[in-house]
Amino acid sequence: MGPSLLIKFHDKVQTNMRIELVDAEFTVGGHTIVKGINLVVDSCNTAIVRGKSTSGKTTLLDILRGSLRPTSGQWIVDGTSISDPTTSAARAIRKHIGYIEQSPSFHEHCSAFDNVLVAASARGVNSARATSEALELFADFGISHVRSRVIAELSDWERRLVAAARAFVGGASVIIVDQSFDGHDEISVRTMIDVVVRLCAGQRALVATTTSENLDVILPHASVYELRDGCLTNISNLPSEEMQSQNGEPS
């Protein structure tokens, strides 16, 4: 593993990470899900990937976080191409990418707090620091009252907030959100987004997928991408007529 991939912590957040996908494609059973994907996730940037259901957003995120090997193309982290996601280098990288799933999985019969502590331990954080950070994060996300409750007893939204705390604990450099900002009441969603953005600001990159066209309004400084027919297009700087065309509206 090259020197650039050696993870070192600086207080709560590790050194910044740069992830690149170069001409990434994923095909299964003769069906191409994503193709020609070129994307750079750099320190402190925010990116929104919009797309309809089954457009390949989760597949794209799985490649971006190194849990899925692209059929072709490259996954590059800090200038080093990682061809095999099962290597120790790839596993070390994934420890420092926080992932907030739409339907997160947990140790169902353990408490919400213990689930977050397990994630901190996997990132090499000592018990005292892990406990301190977890307490802060539960307070940040407004879920201190569920700390001792078993995960299986929590609502869907509470589970997502615990997943958010788990993603941040231990100093992740990149936070990836897979449609976890979708599907709930506007006040709850905006509150969660505000906390995530505040925790990322100036320290972590943020990538979020959505089926909504409203997320880029809530995150006005984000780079906005459209995933359609397996292809990713940066629509942030398109003229309004072209953006309407990308959304399937007449120009």
Q: What is the C-alpha to C-alpha distance for residues 140 and 167, in angstroms, rounded to an integer? A: 13
CA-based nearest residue to 221, from 197, 195, 189: 197
Residues in the chain predicted with pLDDT less than 50, given as ranges, are 1-13, 240-241, 243, 245, 249-251
Q: Between 3.40.50.300, 3.40.50.261, 3.30.43.10, 3.40.605.10, what CATH number should domain 9-96+216-235 receive? A: 3.40.50.300
Question: C-alpha 1: how far from its chain's center?
Answer: 24
From edge to edge, which strands make up the β-sheet containing 205-210? 97-100, 174-178, 205-210, 46-50, 223-228, 231-234
Provide the edge-to-edge strand list for the sheet that holds 19-28: 31-41, 19-28, 72-77, 80-81
Helix axes 186-200, 127-140, angle to 10 degrees: 140
CB-based contact 240:248 (threshold 8 Å): no
Give the C-alpha separation, 98 to 170, whole Å.
9
Model confidence, pTM: 0.87
Helices (H), the chain: 57-64, 88-94, 112-122, 127-140, 156-168, 186-200, 215-218, 240-246
Q: What are phi and psi of 165, to 5 degrees?
A: -60, -40
- pLDDT score for 44: 77
CA distances from 104 to 39, 67, 132, 193, 243 (A): 25, 15, 23, 17, 32
CB 180 within 8 A of CB 63: no
